[in-house]
Amino acid sequence: MRLPTQWLGVAPFFLFALLFLVLPTMYLIVGAFQNRDGGFTLDNIAKLFSDESIRQSYWVSIKISFWSAILGALAGLAIALAIVRGGLPDWVRASTMTFSGVASNFAGVPLAFAFLATLGRLGLVTLILRDLFGFNLYATNFNLLSSWGLIAVYLYFQIPLMVVIITPAIDGLRKEWGEAAATLGATTWQFWRMVLIPVLWPSFLGTLVLLFANAFGAIATAYAFTGSSLNIVPIKLYAQIRGDVLGDPNLGYALAFGMIFITGVANIFYIWFRTRSERWLK
């Protein structure tokens, strides 16, 4: 009997996914429905809706994720259109895509430190504005350690991620469509409104949903940037499971279950939009 050796190449991937994705996820789901003694309970799930602090943390997280996704998607789309269809030199596209590939994965403590060192109370830009131009940035009620400050930090990797994902969709737009539209007498605006926007719309929405899920699940950047001063779900989850006196690991599992549910729904919509976009671009 011949052994299925062709599966050996992908075996490490499936093993990695099982150990670090599937099993931990199942452990969190089971723990969300258990009490401290290991018995079944729905109290942890009920607290997600009854506890005002938890509800507020979800709302703040959704708001931050929504605005960082919207702003990142629009800015990233503009950059991608410029480097693909804007007639710029090839080296501009190559350098932009290289930077986007690196910046889309730049997060956590280094990113938080970079923003604090740049725009913090003793940051480089803050001191330059104060000492050279006599402008005190923080006298204008500017607060980097706020919801909008965290949104600005998230945009550093949201915009490049949008560029990386949406560029292949823009590359798939055929020149023949524009030539056919011009032959039929369509204006540039009519071509965009009736052809390009409908074709790009599923890709744009799919990437928008992916950016939302990407921001919603980020914890290292948020915690390193704001500590516990901002009430968002990842930080509240960390506070529940890190072992403090008031910590409740099972409530933390329930918080994680809620995050998994929201990001799971977002990824389902992403797959659906991506399927629709690929159907157009075939």
What pLDDT does residue 74 have?
Answer: 95
Q: What is the pLDDT of residue 121?
A: 84
Q: With a cut of 60, say whether residue 244 has pLDDT above it.
A: no
Entry field: residues in the chain: 282
Structural domains present in the chain:
51-281 (1.10.3720.10)
Structure tokens given for 157: 């990797």
20-55 pLDDT, tens digit per residue, is 888 988 998 999 998 888 888 899 899 889 888 889
109-119 vs 147-171: helix crossing angle, rounded to 10: 120
Please report how the helices 124-133 and 109-119 are oriented relative to each other, as an axis angle in degrees rounded to 10. 10
pLDDT on residue 247: 66
CA–CA gap between residue 201 and residue 273 (Å, rounded):
9
Q: What is the pLDDT of residues 160-186, one digit of tens each?
A: 999 999 998 888 777 777 778 778 788
Residue that the structure tokens 């956590």 belong to: 108
The answer to whether residue 72 scores a pLDDT higher than 90 is yes
pLDDT surpasses 60 at 246: no
Distance, CA of 236 to CA of 61 (rounded, Å): 11
The mean pLDDT of 247-263, rounded to a whole number, is 86
Confidence of residue 82 (pLDDT cuts 50, 70, 90): very high
